[in-house]
Every structure is written in C-alpha cells, then in structure tokens.
Chains A and B, each alone.
Chain A
Amino acid sequence: MSCLLVSGGSLHPVVQITGNFQAETPLSARAREALGDALDQGWSDPSKLSHFSAKARILKESAIAAMAEILELRPDEINILGEPGLGHYYSIMGLLRPGQQFLYSRVDRKEVIAIARSHRHTLELQVAPSGLIDFQALDRYSQGHGVLALQAANGETGVVQDLNTAIARAGNLQIALDFSSAGTRIPLPSKWDCAFFDARAWQGPAGVGILAISESSEWVNPLPHIGKTRTPQSASLPLTIAAAVALEEWKEEERTESMALRQRTQELRSHITSRIDNCEVAGSLENSLPHISSFSFLYVEGEELLRRLELQGFAVDSGSACTAEDLQPSHVLAAMGVLTHGNIRITLHRGVTPAQVRVLAEAIETAVADLRAK
C-alpha cells in the first residue's frame, strides 16, 4: 500500500511501505469504486422532493436494505450515524433513565466508561486475566431496571465475550450491545435492545456507524430533537453506500477469510511466543476474533518498538502508556493484569500471506532483541 501526502492540492502516493497491521485499512477497490459512483449520484439530500433527491433516497434505502439483510436486522431498525464515536452514547443513553443502574465492564470502550462516569448509579463488572468479563454480579441486578453495556469482542485484544450467558443472567436489564469490533464475526444474540456497529469492522470506510434499535426496545432519542427523528440524518450517503458495498464484499469472503486469518494469527502468535522470552499475549486465540493479537514484551518501550517497526515498513498499534496522548496505559490491558509496556497490537487483514506474517514476526523478534540489548 502507499501513504499519501497533500501536495499542490492533490494527493500523491509517495511512500511505499511493507505492510499495514494497524486496525484501520484502506478501502477495497470495489468499495472505492462504489464511493466514487455514489459521489456522482448520491450528492443530493434524500429527504427533499427533487429528482436528484429521489435518486439519493433510492440509493440510501438500497444501502440500508443490503446492510440489514447481512446484519440480520430489519431495515427500519437501522440508523446510520455520521459520527460513530457517538454510537455508544446514543445506544446507552437512549435506554438509560435517571435513577436506573448502568452496568458495564472494565474492558469496555472509553466512550462507555465516560458515560458511566457521568451517571450516578453504576456497577463496573470485573474482568479475569483471560479478558472474559465476570457476569456473576449481574444476578443481584437482574430483577431491577437498568442497562447492561455488553461488548461482543474487544478491539484491542480480540477477546470474545459469552453474550448468551450474560444475557441469560441479565433478567430485566436492557441490553446495549457493542459490535463495533466484532462486526459480522459474531451473530447477534436473541435478545437485545440496541446494537452498535462500525463499518471499519468489515474494512468499510471510517465515519459510518450503524445503530440498530430493536422494535421492542424502549429507546428514546437522548439528544434534544424535534419530531420523530431518532438520530441525525447527516451521515454521508456516499460513505454509507461504500460501507454497504464493503459489507457485501466482506460477507462473500468472511467464512474462508476468517479461517485463513485464524491460521495466520496462530502462526504469528506461535512464532513470537516460541522465540521471544518474557512476552505476554493478551487472551487466547481460541476465545478471540481471528485477526487481532496484543503482545507485550518485558523491558521494551512500546514507542521505540513501534518506531523500529515503522522504519522497517510495518505499521502496528500500541496500548503502552508512552504511545498514548494522556500517557496512561491501555485500560484493557490493565484490567486483565497484562504487562502494559512494550505492547503492540497487530491486526491481520484479508489476504495476508504466510510469508508476510513470517517477515513481520521476524522483524518483531529482531526489534525486541535490539531494544533489550541497548
């Protein structure tokens, strides 16, 4: 892939890099083509009466219908958000009433933890070293009224939660599901009130969130609004269409790709843990998404490791404090009790080859050895 640099008002590919193992990934050719077409045809406001608007409305409805079918939702349950970062707020605060209990876990996303800090009655569920949430405490609250925020899979470690067990214990609690990392890799459970998806989970574009609101839920728009609008109608239609095309493409290949990615991740984890001592992997692959790994190396600075890999052309993420804006270590690793320094997060994307994984693993091995020898 290539990096882009703004120059003279245009974008030019300027740097060739070896591989992208960050969470984000470029759009596929098919989704990019759909985006370009949608910019030509879907520029008008779908809510107006003109010919162009009618065209845009048809495109929007088609995109939502296509996503609904794959996500196993009804089209009228789907709401597109142009700011996915607000998805957790809409989902949880649309269900939660003042005085009710809000239950969440220590490995939830920061947006969810921020909501908990602004609410009076909260319970933080504890997390085992495996990354699995301890749902025992739910038994005490299952007869009361409140909301349980439930993460299907963690975006840092890939650890998958046992949704059915949690929901069975949740009793009367309303369920706000976070599928922003899991995407379509985990089926929706039988009972839920809201479910939030991010198109990046299926390699769609950034800037498209999908908030599903169950027909039976008591959700109400938590922001000031006029009329029956559930969410702002300001999401980009071209991006929504690109997200739908990316989802269709993803679904066509998901089964075979997931198997291949799990195998590649197994190879990566085996190589690193067998050749590098004092290394921790957060969560077991048997209980994780197939493409995410989080490694921590004792006596290594995460930032230096990141820079060393970057120099060799590998883009990866890190949860170490030295790489964070607020200099705080990853709250997910801290909750699991995993070493937080010397951390790198690796996401394997569709089509990655065994050779590419081996080259990356060898680069990590060399970089860790060099940094420890300094």
Chain B
Amino acid sequence: MKELDCLGMCCPRPIIALGKEMPRINAGESIRLLSDDPATEIDLRAWARMSGNYIVVTGINEFLVTKSKMD
C-alpha cells in the first residue's frame, strides 16, 4: 500500500498531496496518509464526501484512504 507522509505539513497541503496521488492508484486501492495537522481529519471527511472516496481513521494522525472509482 502506498504511504503518504505529510507529518509536519500544514493544512491544506496534506489534502493537496492526496489529491495529486489519487489519480495514480486504481479503484479499490488505498493510500495510508500520515498527517498531524489539526484540520486534516475535518477536511478529509469533507474531501471524501465531495470526491466520493472513503476514509477510515486508523490511528493517531493516521488515515486509510480508499479510492471508490476510476477518475
């Protein structure tokens, strides 16, 4: 699984980095996102709602992002 280490990055950089990675994976595949910015979880949920993808909080500062469909 691909990992995106955004620890230390301020919002919205983790979401921008994620947006750039998503076209590079297939539907059903996931990215492990690491981010400690306080806005990331809020914005990831909004991003998932807007983009139709899925996210799960898997740990402190750790998120599993799954692509729902091809671009």
Contacts and interface: CB of A to CB of B under 8 A. Distances in A.
21 contacts: A278-B50, A280-B50, A298-B50, A299-B19, A300-B12, A320-B12, A321-B37, A321-B38, A322-B10, A322-B12, A328-B38, A329-B38, A334-B42, A337-B42, A337-B46, A340-B42, A340-B46, A341-B11, A341-B12, A341-B39, A342-B12
A298 B37 contact: no
A298 B10 contact: no
A193 interface: no
Chain A interface secondary structure, helix, strand, loop or mixed?
loop
A338 B49 CA distance: 10
B45 A321 contact: no
A338 B43 CA distance: 8
Contacts of A334: 39, 42
Given A321-B10, A321-B37, A299 B42 contact: no
Contacts of B38: 321, 327-329
A43 B19 CA distance: 60
Interface in A192-240: none
Contacts of B46: 280, 296, 337-340
Contacts of A328: 38-39
Interface in B38-62: 38-39, 42-43, 45-47, 49-50
A108 interface: no
Interface residues of A, number: 22
Given A278-B50, A327-B10, A298 B15 contact: yes
Nearest to B16: A299
Contacts of B47: 298, 339
B61 to A, nearest CB: 16
Interface of A: 278, 280, 296, 298-302, 320-322, 327-329, 333-334, 337-342
Given A320-B39, A341-B11, 17 more contacts: A280-B50, A301-B12, A301-B13, A302-B12, A320-B11, A321-B11, A321-B39, A327-B10, A327-B38, A329-B42, A333-B42, A337-B46, A338-B46, A340-B11, A341-B39, A341-B43, A342-B12
A340 B39 contact: yes
Given A320-B11, A321-B10, A327-B38, A340 B43 contact: yes
A329 B39 contact: yes
Nearest to A327: B10
Contacts of A329: 11, 38-39, 42-43
Interface in B1-15: 10-13, 15
A12 B46 CA distance: 45
A339 B50 CA distance: 9
Kindly name the residue among B11, B12, B37, B47 whose own CB sees the greatest number of chain A CB atoms within 10 A: B12
A203 to B, nearest CB: 32
B54 to A, nearest CB: 16
B11 A322 contact: yes
Contacts of A339: 43, 46-47, 50
A334 B12 CA distance: 14
Contacts of A320: 11-12, 39
A227 to B, nearest CB: 46
Nearest to B38: A328
A321 B15 CA distance: 13
Contacts of B15: 298-299, 341
Contacts of B37: 321
A338 B15 CA distance: 14
Nearest to A328: B38
A111 B21 CA distance: 40
Nearest to B20: A299
Contacts of A300: 12
A185 B20 CA distance: 44
A340 B10 CA distance: 12
A114 to B, nearest CB: 18
